[in-house]
Amino acid sequence: MSSESGDLLWIDPIELRFPFELKKQISCSLQLTNKTDEQVAFKVKTTSPKKYCVRPNNGIVAPRSTADVVVTMQAQREAPPDMQCKDKFLVQSAIVGKDIALKDITGDMFTKESGNVVDEVRLKVVYVTPSSINEGSEDGSLGSLSYQEATKDSKEPEKITSEDLLRRDISRQHGGFSLVSLLAVAILGILLGFLMKR
């Protein structure tokens, strides 16, 4: 995991790595560490606001302390071509006075015109395969390990293609009919039989 140092905040990681799976909501966390002796306000923006939920998307980091931000990618119905993601995040930060509260944070604070010391750090989004993170798991889930814990000692996670995702989805379907399908056919047969007798 690489981290990026702005003038005001140390941001870790600099790449948001999502173990991509179709139709699954996936979260990734960021740590923002205030490197200054001042109070620093932050705001997180993305190029795809409908695709991601950022909590909190703004806040205040006390001097020499850390704030955690969780970025959640909504469940995706299809994989992007070649598993490449063009989404980006921007973390804006500004030194603010001790009298500023969370409710006082506005977008204007993060402009050069505000007179505040302002900093911006851009973050990339990368999709990785969950199987390279947790080889031992049958269903590909991360279990109780967080993504960072699971990859701490592993090599660079491999890229995943849409063919890999399709193959995984097909292999999860064990063939035959599901119980719901069988019940639907049975009920339909009973209804048809009832209607034919009339």
- Those residues whose C-beta lies under 8 Å from the C-beta of residue 68, and which sit 6 or more positions away, are 29, 30, 31, 32
Q: Which of 23, 42, 22 is nearest to 32 (CA)?
A: 42
Q: Which of 9, 15, 17, 14 is nearest to 59 (CA)?
A: 9
- Check residue 158 and report its DSSP letter: P
CA pair distance 97, 116, nearest whole angstrom: 10
- Those residues whose C-beta lies under 8 Å from the C-beta of residue 150, and which sit 6 or more positions away, are 133, 134, 142
pTM comes to: 0.64
Return the pLDDT at 157: 42
Question: Count H helices, E strands: the chain?
Answer: 4, 10
Tens-digit pLDDT profile for the chain (198 aa)?
456 678 899 999 999 999 999 999 999 999 999 999 999 999 999 999 999 999 999 999 999 999 999 999 999 999 888 889 999 999 999 999 999 999 999 999 999 888 888 999 999 999 987 665 554 444 443 333 333 333 333 344 444 454 555 454 444 444 555 666 767 778 888 888 878 876
Return the pLDDT at 161: 52
